[in-house]
Amino acid sequence: MQKLDIQPSRSDSKARTAPLGRRLARAALRMLGWRAVLQPPPASRGIIIVYPHTSNWDFVVAMLYKIGIGLPVRWLGKDTLFRRPFRRLLLRLGGVPINRDRRSGFVTAVLAEFAKSDWMWLAIAPEGTRSHTDHWKSGFYRIAVAGNLPLGLGFIDYATRTVGIDRYLTLTGDEQIDFAAIRAFYADKRGRRRGHEGRIGLRS
C-alpha cells in the first residue's frame, strides 16, 4: 500500500493569513489574461478533478489560482516531479507525490486520510498525462464513490481564459449517469493544445 502524506502543508496553513500573496497571485493571473471563478466547496471534504490538462502551462495557471483563492487544496502528482531542486517547493505548494506504477492500495490509502481529516479537498488530473488519452484514470471516481465525497469540477479553459471550480456533483455510482453529467459540463472546455484533451470516460 502506498503511504500518502496528505496533511496540510505549511503553505496551506498560512493561506488564509497571507492576503499579500493572494493579491499577487491574482494580479499575475490577470496579467496573463486569466479570469478566476470559484464556487465555494459544499462540504469539508471532497475530490476536485481538473480538466483538460494538455500543457505544462496548466501547472503555472493552477498554482496561481490555488494561491490566489486561498483555498488549502492538496493535489496529486507523479513522484518523478518531486525531485531536487523542486521537491521542497512542490510540497509547500500542496503537492502529494504518488507512484503510478504502484497501484495496489492507492484508493484505500486516500480514503484513510479522508477518514482522519476534518477538512480535506484533494485535486486530481484524471487524464494522467498531457497527451491525448482514450480514457481517464479511475482513482478519483472510486475514491469519491466509496467515500461518498462530493466531486468538484475544476477546469483550465483556454477558449475563454477562465480557470476555476464552479460546479459540484454528488455521484450516483452509475458510471453512465455520472459521466454523462461530467461530459456535459466539460463539453465547451478547451486545453492549450487543441485535440490533446483526453476522452472523458473510464477504460472500457
Over residues 169-185, the pLDDT tens digits come to 999 999 999 999 999 99
Please tell me the predicted confidence (pLDDT) of residue 10.
43
The domain segmentation of the chain, as residue ranges, is 24-186
- Give the model's pLDDT for residue 102: 62
What digits encode the pLDDT tens for the residues 6-32? 444 444 444 444 688 899 999 999 999
What is the average per-residue pLDDT within 101-130?
84
197 CB-near residues (< 8 Å, 6+ apart): 51, 52, 54, 127, 132, 189, 190, 191
User: What is the mean predicted confidence (pLDDT) over 63-72?
Assistant: 92
Amino acid at 108: T
* Residue 129 in this model has a pLDDT that exceeds 90: no
Predicted TM-score (pTM) of the model is 0.83
Position with higher pLDDT, 48 vs 133:
48
Residue 79 and residue 99 in contact, taking contact as beta carbons nearer than 8 Å: yes
Residue 103: predicted pLDDT: 61
Share of the chain above pLDDT 90, in %: 54
Q: Residue 114 pLDDT more than 60?
A: yes
